């Protein structure tokens, strides 16, 4: 009896999917003809240009990974605004700063809503999280709770001591690992340590809870909670969003069949994630979100919505940005030396830097801005959707069109940025970047409400790592040519290869670190 290999199974699944597509081709073609007839007047208006579409699939075959690179190449051919048809969805891609400003200022309300993706709805409680719900009274309520109760300037300031505590614990564990190592120092998996740090800080500040590993426990990369949450995210990210590994979001006919088992894989990962959220809610039921009255099940549901938005959006993106920043610094040791010199001059060597120091550390802020320019957490931002007809760049955009803004391409536009692919923090210090559009947190009324917390956390984490560990001892592991900067794909922008490095504490900071 022959065994069915994974390749054979995949081939069989693909054949089934194509048979399903062909079976419904006539229905879909008829639907398109009827829709074209109903909207005949609209078709005469000047739509954005775009590549030739194929029947049924439209331009889905063009969605190569990483998607932001492919869309940038299409923009070079068709212009800064062009059209795509992704299965049953119509989309427009914007790749210039001027058109992005037009979309999120003149047409901000029109593009204030978000498209509903079936796979993303499975992850976001039916599309009820703050980053994915439709624009309206419910979104305004979530936004008000987030900005007033969770992420206000006063609340962010109150979070910083807890973030500092977790950061000192990480430095202490890294020093302990370095002291136990021999030779060049301790081998550090920065991706795991940074994710653990950010998640622990968010749990402490948002959910009033801690991971099961105390800050003084033996050195490990991640706590059980962080490991559990990280594994669920790693499973979910490749399955959701534009350019994901499934066609369910763009071909409604496939939503009934789950040909590739996407729904089952999402359900398994969501179940693991939600079990962690429920434990947090059960532990601190009344303090989470400061909800005092009403139905308890409703409280749990609303708390889970905010937990998903905060933990998923905060932990993955903030730790990922720090990982990109350290990758850039390891490839540019002269930048580390300049940043250390600034910190030594302004903060000194008798204490760790704190949040009050950040506004005075201009070069450190330049490093953060340059990292966010080169590697924005959401290279295509969060997808938007028009709720009315409008005109962008002289082109007609029909209601119901998905808007993708290629922030990655805008940040690297050679007509705007001098030497756009180079890592030059100085451009944000000498004023040469002034007036240029930088939108790593989005733009307009759907701009990320966690921007202030993210920037303060990034400054503290990156500044402390630079202050405490020596530039020449942050040697990369197993790659004399430098750190591999290959980009991954998904809703966010991960590194393909997790960042690992050999670290040693700076001699001038040893006394401070030993007292932590």
Q: Are 173 and 219 a contacting pair, CB within 8 Å?
A: yes
Q: How confident is the model at residue 286 (pLDDT cuts 50, 70, 90)?
A: low
- Predicted confidence at residue 212, as pLDDT, reads 62
Q: Are 329 and 466 a contacting pair, CB within 8 Å?
A: yes
Mean pLDDT for the stretch of residues 349-371: 96
- Predicted confidence at residue 364, as pLDDT, reads 98
In a domain, 2, yes or no: no
Q: How confident is the model at residue 37 (pLDDT cuts 50, 70, 90)?
A: very low
- Predicted confidence at residue 6, as pLDDT, reads 36
DSSP string, 400-433: T-EEEE-HHHHHT-TTTSSSTTS--GGGGTSSTT
Is 487 a residue whose pLDDT tops 50? yes
Residue in 390, 380, 437 with CA at minimum distance from that of residue 411: 437
User: How far does CA 277 lie from the centroid of its chain?
Assistant: 20
- Predicted confidence at residue 41, as pLDDT, reads 46
In a domain, 23, yes or no: no
Q: How confident is the model at residue 216 (pLDDT cuts 50, 70, 90)?
A: very low
Lowest mean pLDDT across 50-59, 162-171, 182-191, 397-406: 182-191
Distance CA 262, CA 120 (A): 11
Is 475 a residue whose pLDDT tops 70? no
Q: Residue 505: left if φ>0, alpha if ψ -120 to 50, beta else—which one?
A: beta
Q: Which residues pair with 189 in a beta bridge?
A: 500
In a domain, 312, yes or no: yes
Mean pLDDT for the stretch of residues 202-219: 60
In a domain, 29, yes or no: no
**Is there a binding annotation on residue 503?**
no
In a domain, 15, yes or no: no
Q: Are 280 and 308 a contacting pair, CB within 8 Å?
A: no
DSSP string, 463-485: HHHHHHB-GGG-EESS-TT----
Arithmetic mean of pLDDT over the chain:
83
Q: Are 178 and 474 a contacting pair, CB within 8 Å?
A: no
Full domain range(s) for residue 498? 45-514
pLDDT, greater one: 355 or 150: 355
Share of the chain above pLDDT 90, in %: 46
In a domain, 10, yes or no: no
pLDDT tens track for 224-265: 777 888 888 888 887 887 655 567 888 887 777 776 788 888
CATH number of the domain encompassing residue 81: 1.10.630.10
Q: How confident is the model at residue 394 (pLDDT cuts 50, 70, 90)?
A: very high
Distance CA 294, CA 502 (A): 52
DSSP string, 185-209: -EEEEHHHHHHHHHHHHHHHHHSS-
Long-range CB contacts (< 8 A, 24+ apart) of 59-64? 59/84, 59/85, 59/86, 60/86, 60/87, 60/247, 60/250, 60/251, 63/242, 63/243
Is 297 a residue whose pLDDT tops 80? no
Q: How confident is the model at residue 197 (pLDDT cuts 50, 70, 90)?
A: confident
Q: Angle between the 224-236 and 313-331 helix axes, to the nearest 10 degrees?
A: 90
In a domain, 18, yes or no: no
Distance CA 115, CA 385 (A): 5
Is 180 a residue whose pLDDT tops 80? no
**Main-chain dihedrals φ then ψ at residue 449, nearest 5 degrees:** -75, -15
Q: Residue 435, Cβ neighbours under 10 Å: how many? A: 8
- C-alpha dihedral (80, 83, 84, 90), degrees to nearest 10: 130
**Main-chain dihedrals φ then ψ at residue 43, nearest 5 degrees:** -65, -20
In a domain, 365, yes or no: yes
Q: Are 213 and 89 a contacting pair, CB within 8 Å?
A: no
Residue 372, Cβ density class (10 Å: 0-12 exposed, 13-18 middle, ≥19 buried): buried
- Predicted confidence at residue 1, as pLDDT, reads 36
**Main-chain dihedrals φ then ψ at residue 45, nearest 5 degrees:** -80, 165
Mean pLDDT for the stretch of residues 497-516: 90
Distance CA 195, CA 315 (A): 6
Mean pLDDT for the stretch of residues 157-171: 89
- Total domain count, the chain: 1
Q: How confident is the model at residue 347 (pLDDT cuts 50, 70, 90)?
A: very high
pLDDT tens track for 410-444: 999 999 999 999 999 999 999 889 999 999 999 99
The pTM of the whole model exceeds 0.85: yes
Q: How confident is the model at residue 4 (pLDDT cuts 50, 70, 90)?
A: very low
Is 324 a residue whose pLDDT tops 90? yes
């Amino acid at each position: 009896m022959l065994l069915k290999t994974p390749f054979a199974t995949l081939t069989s699944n693909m054949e089934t999917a194509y048979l399903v597509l062909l079976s419904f081709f006539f229905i879909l073609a008829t639907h398109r003809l009827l829709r074209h007839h109903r909207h005949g007047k609209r078709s005469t208006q000047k739509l954005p240009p775009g590549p030739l579409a194929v029947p049924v699939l439209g331009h889905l075959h063009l969605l190569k990974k990483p998607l932001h690179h492919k869309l940038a190449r299409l923009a070079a051919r068709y212009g800064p605004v062009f059209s795509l048809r992704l299965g049953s969805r119509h989309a427009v891609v914007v790749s210039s700063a001027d058109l992005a400003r037009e979309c999120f200022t003149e047409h901000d309300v029109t593009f204030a809503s978000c498209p509903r993706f079936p796979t993303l709805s499975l992850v976001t409680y039916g599309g009820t999280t703050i980053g994915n719900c439709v624009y309206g009274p419910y979104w305004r309520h979530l936004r008000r709770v987030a900005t007033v109760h969770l992420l206000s300037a006063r609340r962010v300031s109150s979070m910083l001591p807890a973030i500092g505590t977790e950061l000192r614990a990480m430095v202490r564990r890294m020093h302990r690992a370095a002291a136990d190592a021999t030779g060049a120092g301790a081998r550090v998996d920065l991706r795991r340590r940074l994710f653990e740090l950010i998640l622990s800080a968010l749990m402490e500040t948002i959910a009033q809870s801690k991971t099961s590993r105390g800050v003084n426990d033996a050195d490990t990369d991640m706590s059980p909670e962080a490991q559990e949450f990280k594994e669920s995210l790693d499973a979910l990210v490749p399955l959701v969003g534009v350019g994901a590994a499934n066609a369910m979001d763009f071909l409604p006919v496939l939503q009934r069949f789950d040909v590739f088992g996407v729904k089952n894989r999402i359900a398994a990962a969501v179940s693991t994630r939600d079990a962690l959220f429920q434990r947090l809610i059960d532990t601190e039921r009344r303090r989470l979100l400061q909800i005092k009255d009403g139905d308890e099940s409703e409280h749990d549901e609303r708390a889970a919505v905010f937990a998903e938005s905060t933990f998923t959006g905060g932990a993955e993106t903030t730790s990922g940005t720090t990982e990109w920043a350290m990758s850039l610094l390891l490839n540019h040791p002269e930048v580390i030396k300049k940043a250390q010199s600034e910190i030594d001059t302004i903060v000194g060597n008798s204490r760790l830097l704190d949040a009050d120091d950040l506004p005075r550390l201009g070069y450190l802020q330049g490093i953060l801005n340059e990292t966010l320019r080169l590697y924005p957490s959401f290279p295509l931002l969060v997808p938007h959707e028009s709720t009315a007809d409008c005109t962008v760049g002289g082109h007609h955009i029909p209601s119901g069109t998905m808007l993708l803004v290629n922030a990655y391409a805008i940040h690297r536009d050679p007509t705007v940025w001098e030497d756009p692919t180079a890592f030059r923090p100085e451009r944000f210090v000498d004023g040469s970047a002034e007036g240029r559009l930088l939108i790593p947190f989005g733009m307009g009324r759907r701009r990320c409400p966690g921007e202030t917390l993210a920037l303060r956390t990034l400054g503290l984490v990156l500044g402390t790592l630079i202050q405490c560990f020596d530039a020449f001892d942050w040697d990369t592991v197993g790659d004399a040519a430098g750190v591999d900067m290959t980009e991954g794909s998904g809703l966010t922008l991960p590194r393909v290869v997790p960042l690992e490095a050999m670290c040693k504490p700076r001699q001038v900071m040893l006394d401070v670190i030993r007292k932590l």
